[in-house]
Amino acid sequence: QKEVEQNSGPLSVPEGAIASLNCTYSDRGSQSFFWYRQYSGKSPELIMFIYSNGDKEDGRFTAQLNKASQYVSLLIRDSQPSDSATYLCAVVPSGGYNKLIFGAGTRLAVHP
């Protein structure tokens, strides 16, 4: 079992729709969760982080965390073609305050 799992996609959504990206993790003691966006050929850029169960909203982005189910998601409202990228979920494992464990990423394609 991989430590952080994501559906590789591509996830295709029409412009203006809600894109829902999901991630599961195996380390129940993980405390910190991050979503990065990576455009092709570029480095990852941090979109959001979440530490507590529930929802956290930032503009068009909402991160959702459910520690009991070991599940974290990212919702993108009013998706735009410029949101087309690979979205990486990352977790700080228990006792591993010094590193991030990344999933392989989900490729999102927003079509006009």
| Interface with another protein (CB under 8 A) | 4, 32, 34, 42-46, 49, 88, 90, 92, 96-105
Q: Closer to another protein at the Cβ: 17 or 48? A: 48
The answer to whether the CB of 15 falls within 8 A of the CB of 110 is yes
Q: Closer to another protein at the Cβ: 75 or 104? A: 104
**CA–CA gap between residue 23 and residue 35 (Å, rounded):** 10
**Shortest Å distance, C-beta 60 to another protein:** 21
Find residue 76's DSSP bridge partners.
19, 61
